[in-house]
Amino acid sequence: MVQYLLMKIFRALITVTLIVSAAFVVLRLSGDPAIIILGPEAPPEAFAAFRKNWGLDQPIWVQYFKYFGAVFHGDLGNSMRDGRSALVVVGERIPLTLAITLPALFIKLCIGLPAGVTAALYRNTWVDRLIMMVSVAGFTVPSFVLGLVLAMIFAVWLGWLPSGGSDTWAHAVLPTVTMGLVGAAVIARFTRSAMLEVLGQPYIRTASAKGLLWRDVVRNHALPNAAIPTLTIVGFLVGSLVAGAVVVESVFSWPGVGRLLVNAVANRDLAVVQVILLLVGLTMVGANLAVDILYGIVDPRLRIKRLQAGS
Amino acid sequence: MTIDTTPNLEPARPAETGGSVFTSKSGLRAFFEAWPPLVLIALLWIGLIAVVVIAAMWIAPYDFMALDLRARLIPPVFMGGTWAHPLGTDELGRDVLSRLIVSIRISMIIAFLSTVIAAIVGVTLGFVAAYFRGRIEQVILMLIDAQAAMPFMIIALAVLAFLGSSLMLFTILMGFYGWERIARISRGLAISANERGYATAVRDLGATPFRIYSRHILPNIASTLIVSLTLNFPEVILLESGLSFLGLGVQPPMTSLGNMVGYGRDYIQSAPWIMLAPSAAIVVTTLSISILGDWMRDKFDPTLD
Amino acid sequence: MSGLLQVNDLKRHYEVHVPEGLFGRKASLKAVDGVSFSIEKGRTLGLVGESGCGKSTTAKLVLGLIPATSGTVEFAGTRVTARHDAHWRALRRRMQMIYQDPLGALDRRLPVITQIGEPFEIHNPEMSAAERTERSALLMDSVGLRPDMAMRYPHELSGGQRQRVVIARALALEPDLLVCDEPVSALDVSIQAQVLNLLDDLRERTGFAALFISHDLKVVRQMSDRVAVMYLGRIVEAGLPEDVFRRPQHPYTKALVSAIPTPARRGKRERIVLEGDPPSPVDVPSGCSFHTRCPIAQASCRNEVPKLVESGGHAVACHLVNAGAAPAVQAAE
C-alpha cells in the first residue's frame, strides 16, 4: 500500500512539474515575461528588479529554476487591471465560484448517480430510454445555451429569478442549476455504463442464481463494484469545477474565478491567467491523487496486493 | 427502493410460429430494424449540414455581413416577420439565415479540421508508443496523462491568452482536443494487435514496421478509431462554440455559431431568435452526430465505451 | 561442423522480480539454459518437453525473433541476430515459422489468397499482381486448399484450413528452414493427421529442413529424423526417434514415454510417476535440474550439471548413465 501511495504521489508531483513547466514555456514563448507579468506601465526599476529576480539575463535553465522558486513563493505578478497581486485577485473570487460549483456538484451527484443506476437496472425499458434521452440532451446542449434558455424562461418570461449579478442567493440559483444539470447528464451516462458492465459480470449471475433477492444482489454486489470506476469520473468532475464554471459564470455575470479568467484572457492579463492555470492544475492533480488514495483503500484487489507483498 | 426487476439473463424465447425457427419480417420492419428512425433522421440532418457547408456561398440569400439599418430586429417568418428574412434579422439588420449558414460552415470546418489533426497526432503518437515501448512510450504516456489531467477549456483559454486568437491558431488549438484519447486507443489496439500475433506473423515474414502498421494494424483498428473520432467531432463543436460565445474564439467579422449566440445574448428579451437559431443548430447537429456515433459504435464495436 | 543450422550453447535468461518478503527479490528466469544442436539440410529435428521447458523460446531464438543472452545461432554460415534490420528481414526469405494459433497469425480483414501472396509483396516487389495471384493459387493447391477458398476470410475457414493457409504462406518463398511451433496442437485429432501428412509431403517435395516442436510425443516421433528432449531449458536426451522412445535412457524421458497411453500390450509397461511439483524456470535446481524429481538421484546430481554425452548416435545428459563415457559430437543427421 505504501508503495502504491508513494508511486501515485510521485506521479502527481511529476504532473505538477509538467504543468508548471508548460506554463513557463508558454510564458517565454509569448514575449518578454517582465512586461507580461508587470504590465507595460510599470516603472523601469520594477522591470530591473523583476529581471534580476527571475534571472532573465541568465541561461534558460537558471530561469527555469527561478521560475519554480517564484511559483512556490507565490510571487506571480500583479493583475494588470488594478495592480494588485494576481494571487490575491484570484483568491478573493474563489469563494464565489465555490458557492455555485459545490451545490452544483451536489446536484450532479444526487441526480446523476441514481439516474444512471436506474437506467442500467431497467435496461432497454422505457425508463432507460427516457433517462438516456434526457441525459443525451444534457450533454449535447452546451452549457451556455442551457443557461440562456433557462434565463429566458425563468428570468425574462416568468420573472421568478434574476438573470445576472450576484447580490442575493436567488442570483445563484440559475448558474447552479445550469451547471448541475449538464454535469448530471454526464454522470448519468457514465454511471449507467459502469453499472451495465458490472451487471454483465458472471459473479452477478452467480449471486442471483444463489437465490439472493435481486435487490440484495444490486446493493451488496453490483453497486459497490460500480462505485469504483464512478469514483474516477467524480474525481475528474471535482478537479474541473473551475473549468465548468467558466462559461456559466459568464452567462450569468457571476463574478467568480471563471468569469475572471475570461476577462483576463480578453485583456491579456497574463499574470492572472497564469495563477488560474496553476490553480486548476493543482486542483486536478489533487483530486486525482485523492481518488487514487481512495481506490487504494476501497478496491479490495489493491488491498490484497498489499497483503501479499507484506506476507 | 423496490428494484425487483430480474436481470435480462434468460435467453430470448423462440417465436411461436409452428415449429419453424425463422420468423419472416415485413420488408419495412426489417429496414427499420437495421436503420432505426432516429439514426435516419440524424443522417438526414447531417446530410443537410454537409450541403450547407459545401454550398454556403451560393445558398445564403444575403451577404452575412450586409447591414440594413432599416430592417433591424425583424422577427422570423413564423413569428410575424416576412419571407424576405425567414429567420429574422439581428440588431444591425443582418439576415439571420445567411449568418446562420455561414456560421455553420465555419464551425463545421473548424470541427472537421480539428478532428483530422487530432486523428493524425493521436494515431501517430499512439503507434510510436506501441512500436518503440520503453522510454519513448513512457514519455508519450506522460504527455497523454498530462493532457488528460487538465480540462481542455482551461488549456485552451491559457493558450489563447498567451498567443492570441488568430483563426489558424485557434483551429490548430482545437486540433489538440481529444488527441490523447485517440493516442490511448491506438496504442492499446496496436499493442494487442502485436500480442495477437498477426502483426508478429507479418513481421516474421520480413515486413518493415511501416508496412505492418499501415497495411495491417491501421485497417484493423480503423473502425474503432472512426467511432471515437465521430464522438470527438461534436465535442469540438461544443468547445469551439463555447469559446466563441465568450468572444475568445472566432473573431468578428468572421462569424460562428457560438459568436452568434454571444451577440444574441443581449437581446434574449427583445429578439430571442437571434440567439435561438444558432443554438438550435448547435444542439441538433451535435445530437445528430452523437446519435450516429453511438449507433456506429453499437454496430461495429460493442466493447468500446 | 557444417549443419544448415548450428546452435551453440544458447541461453536466454529473463530478469524477473519475484514478490517475496517485504520487497520481493530479483531472480533469473532461465527459459533456455545452454542448448546446442545442429540441423542438416533437409532434416527434421523434433523438440519435445513439458510446457515451460523452453521449446518455444528456443524456436524464437533460432529465428532471431528474440535476442539471446549468450550463445550463438548460425544459419547457412551467417550469424542470426535479433536486430530487426534489413539483413534480418532479408533472412526471412530463408527461414520461416508456423504457429500454434493459425487464426491469430492471420489478418482477419484480408482474404487468404492475399495473405498467402504477401511474402511476394514484401520480398519480390517487382512481381506483377497477376503473377503473384498465380503463384499464390499454386501454393493453395499444393497445400490442398480448393481454389474457391481464395477469397475467403480466415474466420470463414476451419482450423485445419487456416493452418494450411499459414503453411502455404510460410513456404511461399521456399525457405530452407521451417520452424513449426506446436503446429497441430490446436487442431482436432483427425485434422492433425491430415496436416502432419501435408507437412511430410511438402518436406519431401521441397526439401526444407525443419525444427519441429511439440509436447506430443507421437507427433514428434512421426515427423522427425532426430529427436531432442528438453527439460527446464536444457536438452537431456537426443537421438533417433526409435532410440529415444523405445530405449529411453534419461530418467525424465523414461517417465515421459511411460505416460504415453497405449492399448493393452504384452507385458504391462510400468507407468513412472514423477514425484514432486515441476519446478519453475525461475528457481532452477542446482546441478542436474531434474534431480529434485529423479527416482535415481545421487549426491553428485545435486552438485554438477551433467553434460550431454553421446554414444552411437544417442546422447544423454545424466551422470549415472554416462559414467565413464567421453563427450562427443552432437549433430542431427
Task: Identify the weakest region by mean pLDDT among B55-59, C195-199, C207-211.
Answer: B55-59
Residues of chain B with C-beta less than 8 angstroms from the C-beta of A152: 268-269, 272
Distance CA C150, CA A58 (A): 70
Which residue of chain B comes nearest to A151, CA vs CA? Answer: B268
Q: Answer yes or no: is pLDDT of B14 > 70.
A: no
Residue C123: name the closest of C167, C96, C89, C84 by CA. C89
**What is the band of C116 on the pLDDT scale with cuts at 50, 70, 90?**
very high
Instruction: Name the 3-class secondary structure at B116.
Output: helix
Q: Answer yes or no: is pLDDT of A189 > 80.
A: yes
Cell matching residue C204:
519431401
Q: Answer yes or no: is pLDDT of C269 > 70.
A: no
Which residue of chain C comes nearest to B200, CA vs CA? Answer: C105
B174-216: pLDDT as tens digits: 989 989 889 998 998 888 888 777 888 888 888 888 888 888 8
Residues of chain B with C-beta less than 8 angstroms from the C-beta of A136: 287, 290-291
Task: Identify the weakest region by mean pLDDT among A2-11, A140-149, B162-171, B276-285.
Answer: A2-11
| A60, burial (CB in 10 Å: exposed 0-12, middle 13-18, buried 19+) | exposed
As a residue count, chain B comes to 305
Produce one character per residue of B76-101: b if its CB has 16 or more CB atoms within 10 Å, e if not.
beeeebeeebebbbbeebbbbbbbbb
Q: What is the pLDDT of residue A81?
A: 64
**What is the band of A75 on the pLDDT scale with cuts at 50, 70, 90?**
low
Instruction: Name the 3-class secondary structure at B89.
Output: strand
**Does B241 touch chain A if contact means CB atoms closer than 8 Å?**
yes
The residue written with cell numbers 454486489 in the block is A221
Distance CA A271, CA A263 (A): 12
Which residue of chain B comes nearest to C173, CA vs CA? Answer: B205
Partner-chain contact C24 A309, CB within 8 Å: yes
pTM value is 0.75
Pairing of strands C177-181, C209-214: parallel
Higher pLDDT, B129 or A14: B129
**What is the band of A77 on the pLDDT scale with cuts at 50, 70, 90?**
low
What sign does the dihedral C233-C238-C241-C244 (CA atoms) show? negative
Chain B, 106 to 125: residues with Cβ < 8 Å from chain A are none
Q: Measure A306 CA to nearest chain C CA, in Å.
A: 10
Partner-chain contact B272 A152, CB within 8 Å: yes
Residue C162: partners with Cβ closer than 8 Å, 6 or more residues away:
C102, C103, C106, C154
Residues of chain C with C-beta less than 8 angstroms from the C-beta of B216: 107
Q: What is the pLDDT of residue C210?
A: 92
Higher pLDDT, B87 or B183: B183
* Contact by Cβ (8 Å): C302, C236: no
**What is the band of B60 on the pLDDT scale with cuts at 50, 70, 90?**
confident
Partner-chain contact C24 A308, CB within 8 Å: no
Best of A2, A4, A311 to disrupt the C interface (most C CBs within 10 Å) is: A311
A246-277: pLDDT as tens digits: 889 988 888 888 888 888 888 877 778 878 88
**Does C22 touch chain A if contact means CB atoms closer than 8 Å?**
yes
Higher pLDDT, C21 or A204: A204
User: What's the rounded mean pLDDT across residues C137-161?
Assistant: 89
Q: What is the pLDDT of residue C325?
A: 46
* Contact by Cβ (8 Å): A296, B164: no
Higher pLDDT, A61 or A54: A61
Q: Answer yes or no: is pLDDT of C84 > 60.
A: yes
Q: What is the pLDDT of residue C330?
A: 35
Q: What is the pLDDT of residue A57?
A: 67
**Does C108 touch chain B if contact means CB atoms closer than 8 Å?**
yes
Q: Answer yes or no: is pLDDT of A123 > 50.
A: yes
Q: What is the pLDDT of residue B3?
A: 46
Higher pLDDT, A208 or C88: C88
Cell matching residue A164:
445576472
Task: Identify the weakest region by mean pLDDT among A141-150, B70-79, B127-136.
Answer: B70-79
Nearest to B248 among A15, A122, A265 (CB): A265
Q: What is the largest CA-CA distance in chain A?
A: 81
**Does A307 touch chain C if contact means CB atoms closer than 8 Å?**
no
For this complex, say whether ipTM is above 0.85. Answer: no
